[in-house]
Amino acid sequence: MRNDQKAYFRAITHKNVGESILAASVKGVGDGGLNLGPDKEITRDIWLRDVFPEWGTILNKEIEETKPEPNSFMLWWLGGASWWMKSAGGANICIDQYSGSGGCLNYNDLSKYSGVVRMTGAQQMCWIRCVPHVLDPWAIKECDAYLSTHIHTDHCDFYTIKPLLQNTNCKFVGPPKCVEIFERWRIPKDRIVTVKPGDVVKIKDVEVCAVESFDRTVLVTEQKDIHKMTMDEFAKLMDQKACNYVLKTPYGTVYDAGDSHYSNMFFKHGKEHKIDVALITFGDNPDGMTDKMNPYDAYRAAKCLNAKVCIPMHYENWGIVEGDPTDLEMIANKKFAPFTVCIMRPGTKYVWPTDKDKKRIYYSQQIEVSKGFKTELVDLPFPAYL
């Protein structure tokens, strides 16, 4: 072992080094791939603590340290239907962040009330999470509001809400049935904001407008006997369980469609609000199940909203409805869509209006890392190597 390697080994194993420094030094490929970590006790719990979330706090720090330019806002896609919005006026808004896992369910007296089971009669259904955890919910230091679009587990998430409750002063915003969940999880009433279509919540320089949802899966996610409900009761059920959000800033507007299916009401929302960026859920549904919009419906939704940009979401996190965003892009191109389809990757950042014409958002590390390369420090055996 070289002297510099011995010094590194001593540094990461020295008893006086803080646990956080030790963890940062030996976690994953944080040692540059030298793999010099010492032997240590290992259990399943230690493995989980050392390895997850997969991104550690890299994205947390990026969000904390990044300040939008005047007259702009930023959106970080956290995977699935989860977003972090940061405005030039300092608003930090977390939307539908899901810090949980996937799993399988069997048909039983409880699961039969699930919307996807009601519509299929599935005897078994596995929802396998396909994307990494890019945000550490326990490392969030600043958050003004957590917005939940509806009651489903991956949109009203225990594993995100409880850390936010303990470590921030954020408000928890959602429709009445989400509020019932917040209260069950012992969120104080003074930190809960109940919304229904037409309500507006002011968060610094962002106006959050609740509008109608068209999520027919959540509509039939119901423990009551929906066959015995009156038409009037059933008609009111959606607004109790779900809403979409229009987030307005002085310099641009975001529309979050939650888990909505296609509806002609998107046209109404497009008339009522000037929408710049539409976040649209879609996926590839199994035969006999319609949980997500298909690519053509997603195209129609963005067009009806009169959006300038359509960012597809929620197509990549569940294996059972995994879709291909280039299908949506192909349709939009074929139809000469009046909007740009922008395909992101989980953990990447979208800046409005700077990125309004971009069709892809790549990982900044892949693009910007070269700026720190110093050719005078290149250490290779001969010039022609690589």
Q: Is the pLDDT of residue 7 over 50?
A: no
Q: Report pLDDT for 204.
A: 98
319-367 pLDDT, tens digit per residue, is 999 999 999 999 999 999 999 999 999 999 999 999 999 999 999 888 8
- Other C-beta atoms closer than 10 Å to the C-beta of 73 total 28
Q: Report pLDDT for 8.
A: 42
Which domains, and CATH codes, for the chain?
A: 3-51 (no CATH), 58-98+134-368 (3.60.15.10)
Using CA atoms of 125, 127, 128, 131 in order, give the dihedral in degrees to the nearest 10.
160
Q: Distance between CA atoms of 192 and 195, rounded to whole angstroms?
A: 10
Give the residue-averaged pLDDT of 182-206.
98
Give the residue-averaged pLDDT of 369-376.
91
Please state whether the peptide bond connecting residue 70 to the residue before it is cis, i.e. omega within 30 degrees of 0: no
293-315 pLDDT, tens digit per residue, is 999 999 999 999 999 999 999 99
Q: Report pLDDT for 189.
A: 97
Q: Report pLDDT for 16.
A: 42
DSSP state of 317: S
Give the residue-averaged pLDDT of 118-143.
96
Crossing angle (nearest 10°) for helices 3-13 and 19-26: 130
Give the residue-averaged pLDDT of 77-104.
97
Residue 29: band (very low, low, confident or very high) from pLDDT cuts 50, 70, 90:
low
Residue 383 neighbours by CB under 8 Å, 6+ apart: none
Mean pLDDT of the chain: 92
Q: Is the pLDDT of residue 23 over 60?
A: no
Q: Report pLDDT for 30.
A: 66
Q: Report pLDDT for 95.
A: 98
Residue 97: band (very low, low, confident or very high) from pLDDT cuts 50, 70, 90:
very high
Residue 20: band (very low, low, confident or very high) from pLDDT cuts 50, 70, 90:
very low
Residue 18: band (very low, low, confident or very high) from pLDDT cuts 50, 70, 90:
very low
DSSP state of 318: B
- Using CB atoms within 10 A of its CB, is residue 173 exposed (0-12), middle (13-18) or buried (19+)? buried
Residue 231: band (very low, low, confident or very high) from pLDDT cuts 50, 70, 90:
confident
Which residue's entry shows tokens 């280039």?
326
Answer yes or no: are the C-beta atoms of 51 and 28 closer than 8 Å. yes
Give the residue-averaged pLDDT of 242-268.
98
Strand partners, 76: 84, 349
191-200 pLDDT, tens digit per residue, is 999 999 999 9
